[in-house]
Amino acid sequence: MKIKDLEYFIELVKKKNFSVVAEHFHVSQPTITMAINRLEEEYGTTFFVRDHVHHQIEVTRIGQQYAQHVRTILNELTVAREEIENAKLNKIRFGLPPIIGNYYFPPLTPELLRARLIDKLEVTEAGSESLLQMLLRGELDMALLGSASSLQQPELLVKELDQYPFQIIMSRDNQLADRAALSFSDLKGQQFILPDADFIHEKAFRKMCRGAHIRPQVIYRTNDIHIIKNMVAENLGISFLTKLAITPNDRLVNLSLTDQGQPLFHLSLVARHNEILSPAKKKLWDLVLKYAASK
């Protein structure tokens, strides 16, 4: 079996046209035909039903099932290539969402220096959703991720480190600032300044809006939490942030929500389940877990 045959097969499942697939790979149509014939002969079955009159094909049920496995195989090969190339560089590709990078990770820096890991880190900063996909594609070795519920994926090794509630932040001049706490429905008519939709906050925010039956007025989004806080401090709107991102130095009022069944910000250390960690990666993994346990 040739890997290229599997790539041709998956593209044919997608395009359902031999000529289009041949053009996609810049090969002749007989090359694609012979590759599919090899696969079907090897398994003694039929993956495609050909309609030569109308130049169309249909994927059989067995072909659809086989495609599920082939996609996994090709993805694992892509991840393996990424891992091998990265191993040559002796780097740790580490994912950090902005909030976690700004408010959770900095105290770890002295420990990283002492462990001689800081120069091995190749940090990618993006929203947790993007970093999760990069991790699954093998583009990252590990990441600190936020999620609106516990991460449970068979491809991942997940160690949940902590949970943080979401809170409402507002200016001291806001009409609700003197409240001890409030329900989300109290925020009808308020203007929101929020993190970009790539942040985990979006899922939690939408859940709260649905529960309170309100249609929020979102006037601005940004991936810069400092900008959000500054705008809120100027009483241009309110925001919805995890408590992890709120510090005593902020010139803001932060209020807890009284709603039942609120989502939490789950902080987890994540790697791919089948990756054998190098000594440096294992040292980083253990260091982060030790730091989390000491908090």
Confirm whether 3-86 and 89-162+266-294 share one CATH topology: no
Residue 71 scores a pLDDT above 70:
yes
- CA 215 to chain centroid, in Å, comes to 26
- CA 203 to chain centroid, in Å, comes to 13
For domain 3-86, the CATH class is mainly alpha
Report in angstroms the alpha-carbon separations of 244 from 1, 105, 124, 275.
51, 11, 20, 29
pLDDT on residue 74: 87
CATH 3.40.50.620 fits 89-162+266-294, yes or no: no
b/e map 237-273, b = 16+ CB within 10 Å: bbbbbbbbbbeeebebbbbebebeeebbbbbbbbbbe
CATH 3.40.190.290 fits 163-264, yes or no: yes
Structural domain boundaries in the chain: 3-86, 89-162+266-294, 163-264
Helix, strand, coil in percent for the chain, rounding step 5: 45, 25, 30
pLDDT digits over 188-227, tens only? Answer: 999 999 998 878 899 999 999 999 999 999 999 998 999 9
pLDDT digits over 138-160, tens only? Answer: 889 999 999 988 998 888 999 99
Percent of the chain with pLDDT over 70: 96
For residues 72, 73, 79 and 80, what is the CA-based torsion angle, rounded to 10 degrees? Answer: 150
Where does the pLDDT of residue 89 fall: very low under 50, low under 70, confident under 90, or very high at 90 and above? low
CA dist 140 and 18 (Å) reads: 35
Task: List residues bridging with 238 in a β-sheet.
Answer: 192
